[in-house]
Amino acid sequence: MIITVVCDILGVENNGVAVVMLNLIRYLKSEGHTVRILCADQSKIGQENYYVVPPQSFGKTLDRFVSKVGVQLAKADKKVIVEALTGADFVHIIVPLGLGLASAKIAHKMNLPVTAGFHMQAENLTGYLKLHKIKPINTFVYKYIYKHCYRYCDGIHYPTKFIRDTFESRIKKQTPGYVISNGVHSYIEKKDVDKPAELRDKIVILSTGRYSVEKSQDTLIKAVAHSAYKDKIKLILAGQGPKDKKFKKLALKTGVDTEFKFFARDEIVNVLNYCDLYVHPAVYELEGIACLESIACGKMTIVSDSVGSATKDFAVDEKCVFKHKNAKDLAKVIDYWIEHDDEKKAYESRYLQSKFVYRQEECMKLMGEMIDEVALKHNEKRSDRVVVKE
């Protein structure tokens, strides 16, 4: 098939959405499909099967903020969208932002089978505006993206049942959903890795994720500050993001020995394997691949109990869970596992044997099966199709 993948965000693999998107594109190409990529990556202009729209500008102030997040948003140029969709057999939309919204509507009018991924919680957007705690606003976001994107789709890819249930409860509708994990790559696995010499006398705590409100790294920094083992702990926050300066300032103020760094994929595997504890403090998380990678390496993994996060369901029991946004409670959990090393080893074995982790290769096969099934069903009902009214 000729498959057009609509990528509002395309660039380096510096965030979960980019990793998921590029993994899917690589898989589809490996299966022999011709993949057209509709995006705003100006470096791709002139390259075969790339259809490039202009970047979206919101003015200097907002453009600087978007750049700080580490992405480049796309402008919905109708002419380029139609060009990218003409002659295609299938359309897959990565996220429901400007380019994705416009492409879903145009693809529907062109009678093309359409699927879309669900890789963005409402709180991922409202968190930047400090409105993430206001439920009606989050519900409005969910209803908006349903109206302008997902209602045009023949299938929706949900990484977890958690996010499918969340979305459908907010819009009060059942959707044509497929629950498929984004998966953990096979090279993420347990192996013997020595700590760097400078960390051998340290208790290394790792957390991976974009520096942002919803990932709640500030709670972890404060927790280490409350720990009885503060002076022995080396905290590694792997990532980057808009709260970089704020979190660095907090670490300095609290005296927590913290390394802020964006690690390459091969580097993070080593850090995962030599760290002593992995903590995922996010309050909003629709899947949490970073958390699953820790589990795949058999690490003691501590998660928050937030109702807005799927990762709470990954804990093997309540001893691995803390009250979200509660630094003192997290400090107690951290100290418990520092003090109970033999029990920690037993729990790490339980994590390694758990059924939470799905391998990326198998997940990509399921994505391929979803596309084949949706295309078949769509083509079977072309003759009695009804166009959704605006």
DSSP letters of 143-163? HHHHHHTGGG-SEEEES-HHH
Least confident of 2-16, 36-50, 133-147, 330-344: 2-16
List C-alpha distances in Å: 145 to 49, 66, 118, 152, 307: 27, 20, 10, 11, 22
pLDDT of residue 17: 80
pLDDT of residue 384: 61
To the nearest whole number, what is the mean pLDDT of the chain? 92
Cα–Cα distance for residue pair 157/181, rounded to 1 Å: 9
pLDDT of residue 16: 72
Within 10 angstroms of residue 110's Cβ, the number of other Cβ atoms is 14
pLDDT of residue 327: 98
Q: Is the dihedral of CA 46, 113, 165, 278 positive or negative?
A: negative
pLDDT of residue 383: 58
Please determine, for residue 275, whether its predicted confidence score (pLDDT) is greater than 90: yes
Percent of the chain with pLDDT over 90: 79
pLDDT of residue 223: 98
E strands present in 34-77 = 34-39, 50-52
Please determine, for residue 273, whether its predicted confidence score (pLDDT) is greater than 80: yes
Q: How confident is the model at residue 365 (pLDDT cuts 50, 70, 90)?
A: very high
* pLDDT tens string 62-100: 556 555 555 567 889 999 999 999 999 999 999 999 999
Q: How confident is the model at residue 288 (pLDDT cuts 50, 70, 90)?
A: very high
Write out the residue limits of the CATH 3.40.50.2000 domain(s) in the chain: 2-183+359-384, 197-352
3-class DSSP state for residue 2? Answer: strand
pLDDT of residue 266: 83
Instruction: Say yes or no: domain 2-183+359-384 is CATH 3.40.140.10.
Output: no
pLDDT of residue 387: 64
pLDDT, average across residues 184-201? 94
pLDDT of residue 55: 87
* pLDDT tens string 99-147: 999 999 999 999 999 999 999 899 888 877 788 888 899 999 999 999 9
pLDDT of residue 20: 86
pLDDT, average across residues 220-237? 98
pLDDT of residue 208: 96
pLDDT of residue 388: 66
Helix %, strand %, coil % of the chain (to 5)? 50, 15, 35
Least confident of 40-44, 166-170, 230-234, 279-283: 40-44
pLDDT, average across residues 348-353? 95
DSSP 283-336: S-BSS-HHHHHHHHTT--EEEE--TTBGGGGG-SSGGGEE-TT-HHHHHHHHHH
Least confident of 120-134, 236-250, 309-323: 120-134
The side-by-side arrangement of strands in the sheet containing 258-261 is 258-261, 233-238, 203-208, 277-280, 301-304, 321-322
The side-by-side arrangement of strands in the sheet containing 114-117 is 50-52, 34-39, 2-6, 90-93, 114-117, 155-158, 177-179
Please determine, for residue 58, whether its predicted confidence score (pLDDT) is greater than 70: no
CATH code of domain 197-352: 3.40.50.2000
Percent of the chain with pLDDT over 70: 92
